[in-house]
Structure 1
C-alpha cells in the first residue's frame, strides 16, 4: 500500500467534496434514493492479500464472506462490520483491513454484506449480526466484533444485545470512529464541525431517521452510547479529533470507566474520520495496534 502524508488527507477530502451527502439534508435524501436505485458492488478486490483465502456463503439471505489465513490453523474469529453511513457499500479499504487482520492476527474474519438504508434497519441488522457472532463462537471457538463508523455503531449495539439476550461477553469489541449517538445532539459537535472535511449533522440526521426504523433514536440498538456498558468485555476505540463523532467517543470513554469496563482509547490528534483505514503512516500504525489487540484477545 502506498503511504501518503497525513497532512494532505483533509485538503484532498475537501477538494473531493467528501462531505457532500452530509452537509445537506436534501442531498442526503437524494443519495439514499440514488444508492437504492443503483447499488454499488460489494465484491472484494481481485488481488486482496496473498496470504488469505476468501469464500462466500449465504446466511439468512445475506452474502457473508469469510477471509481466512491460507497457512496454519486460525485462532478464533472476528465479525467485521463495514462503515459507510448505513447507506454506502463496503469498499476496498474495508476489505484490505479484513485481510490484514486475518493474515497477521491469524484469525478468521467474517464480513457480512448487510442491507443498507432504505431497506435495512438497526434492529434487523443487529439481530442478524448477533446470530453471525454466535454461529462463529460455535464454529471457531471464540468471536470478537469490530467495525468502523456506522459499522462501529452496529458492533457496539450487537455487543450490548449479546450480553443482554444471551449472556455472551465478547473478548474484543473493536471500534474505529464509531457513530455512538444518532441524535447528533452532543453540544461539542458544532465546535468540531469546521475542522471535519467528511461528516456533518444535517445528512447524518437524515440517515439516522432511515436507519432507526421503528426504534427510538435513544434505543441502544440505534445509539449504543445510551446502553448500560457494565459487564461488557474489552473495547478498543479509535477516534480522530477532526471528526464530529469524536465528542461522543470521549463520552464513551467516560461511561466505560464509570462502568468498570476495560477500554483502550487511541485518539488521533489532527486526524479525520476512520483514519486507521487511510494509507498514511498514522493509519498504518493504528492498523498494527488493531491486529495486535485482536490477536491477543482471541488467543487469551
Structure 2
C-alpha cells in the first residue's frame, strides 16, 4: 500500500476515532446540581477562575499530529443514546466506521488475522509476516478500548494489529462482551477466561497484557483479579491512558476539559457508557476503578498518555501508585496528544509510542 493511500486511511481513522472513541458520543449536559458540584469549593479552598483563551496548535509536534490536534469537536458531541437499542446501534456504526482503517492496517503490515474462540470468548489471533526471533516464544494479549460499549468484532483489534506490526509480536486480541447487554463483570470475566486458556499454552512470564482507555483499565483489573485468585501474573503490562477511576476525580478531568478534542470533557459519552457498564456497583470497587486497588506485586508496567489527554491524571496517578508499590513502571507522555491519539496510524509519534512499548516488553518478558 502506498504512503498516500495509507495516509488517507489514517485521516479517516482519525475522524472515526474522534467520532466514536471521543467527542461525538458525548453525553447530554449534566444537571445543574452536578455543574454546581463541579465548581464547588473544597473546605475553604475556592476553585480557580480561568480567563477565556484560545489554545494554539503546538509547533512542537509532527505536521501529521498537528492536523489531528487542530481537528474540531464533532458536531453532535453532546448527543446521548437514549436506550440500549441506541447504544447497540452506535456500537455497530463504530465498527462500520473503523472497518476501512482496520483493513488498511492489516494490509500495511502484512498481518494474518484469524478469528477463533478461547473458552467460548471470540478472539483475533494476529500474526505479523515476520516475528522477531527474540519474540518467537512470547505472546501479547490485547484488550480493546471503547468505553466498554464500542468497537465490537475486528474493529476492536486495531491497536493489537499495530502492536503486532510495529513490535513483531504475535498478539491475541479479545473481543469481550460489552454493555448494555453485558455489564460488569462480563468483560473482565472474558479477559480472565482467555488468560486461563493462554496460561496453559504459554509461560505467563513470556506474556504481556496491554490496552488503551477501557482496555487499559481492564489490563489493570485483570492483573488485580489474577493476583486475588492466585493465578500467575503476566510478565509485563501496558495500560495506555487507562480509565482507572470511574469517579472521574483526577485533576486533568477538569484541567483538560475542552482541551482534549477526543473525549472533550467529563460530560462526554464515556461517562454514560461507564455508568451503563458499572450498573449499581460502588464506583470505587477496584475491579471497576483499579486506581483504588493494591498494586503490590504487579509486573513491570509501561503507561502512555498525552499532555492534552483528559485521562492524563488517571495515567499519572496509576504510575505513581505503581512506583509507591515498588513496581518497575515507565510513563511516556506525548506532546499535544488528546485521549488515545497515539493509536492513530502513520503518525511519527505513534511509531515512537509502539516502539517504546515493544522495547519495554522485550526487556521485561522472559526469553
TM range (shorter): 0.7 to 0.9
Q: What's the offset of the Cα at 1:239?
A: 0.8
- Partner in structure 2 of residue 201 of structure 1: 266
Q: Cα 1:32–1:185, aligned 2, differ >3 Å: closer, same or farther?
A: farther
Q: Does 1:255 align with 2:317?
A: no
Checking the alignment, whether the CA contact within 8 Å between 2:177 and 2:190 is kept in structure 1 is no
Once residues 224 and 200 of structure 2 are traced to their aligned partners in structure 1, the CA distance between those partners, rounded to angstroms, is: 19
Kindly report which structure 2 residues correspond to 1:24-35, keeping only aligned pairs within 5 A, or say none: 24=78, 27-30=79-82, 33-35=85-87
Q: What's the offset of the Cα at 1:177?
A: 1.4
TM-score scaled by length of structure 1: 0.87
In structure 2, runs of 5+ residues without a counterpart are 1-5, 11-62
Q: Which one of the candidate residues 334, 348, 352 is aligned to 1:281?
A: 348
TM-score scaled by length of structure 2: 0.72
Once residues 211 and 133 of structure 1 are traced to their aligned partners in structure 2, the CA distance between those partners, rounded to angstroms, is: 21
Checking the alignment, whether the CA contact within 8 Å between 1:241 and 1:269 is kept in structure 2 is yes
Q: Does 1:211 align with 2:269?
A: no
- Which deviates further from its counterpart, 138-147 or 83-92? 83-92
Q: Does 1:52 align with 2:122?
A: no
- Partner in structure 2 of residue 129 of structure 1: 191
Once residues 93 and 8 of structure 1 are traced to their aligned partners in structure 2, the CA distance between those partners, rounded to angstroms, is: 23
Once residues 47 and 244 of structure 1 are traced to their aligned partners in structure 2, the CA distance between those partners, rounded to angstroms, is: 26
In structure 1, runs of 5+ residues without a counterpart are none
Q: Does 1:16 align with 2:74?
A: yes
Structure showing greater radius of gyration is 2
**Equivalent residue pairs, number:** 293
| 3-state secondary structure, aligned to 1:195 | coil
Checking the alignment, whether the CA contact within 8 Å between 1:242 and 1:271 is kept in structure 2 is yes
Q: What's the offset of the Cα at 1:130?
A: 1.5
- Partner in structure 2 of residue 298 of structure 1: 365
RMSD: 2.7
- Partner in structure 1 of residue 178 of structure 2: 116
Q: What's the offset of the Cα at 1:90?
A: 5.1
Deviations 1:32-51 (A, max 9, x none): 64241465248752771454
Greater strand percent: which structure?
A: 1
Checking the alignment, whether the CA contact within 8 Å between 1:147 and 1:175 is kept in structure 2 is yes
Deviations 1:37-92 (A, max 9, x none): 46524875277145432211123443211112445673221110111122211598
Q: Cα 1:33–1:163, aligned 2, differ >3 Å: closer, same or farther?
A: same
Q: What's the offset of the Cα at 1:288?
A: 1.3
Q: Which one of the candidate residues 161, 165, 169 is aligned to 1:99?
A: 161
- Partner in structure 1 of residue 41 of structure 2: none
Q: What's the offset of the Cα at 1:245?
A: 0.7
Q: Does 1:224 align with 2:290?
A: yes
Once residues 90 and 287 of structure 1 are traced to their aligned partners in structure 2, the CA distance between those partners, rounded to angstroms, is: 23
Q: Cα 1:32–1:146, aligned 2, differ >3 Å: closer, same or farther?
A: farther
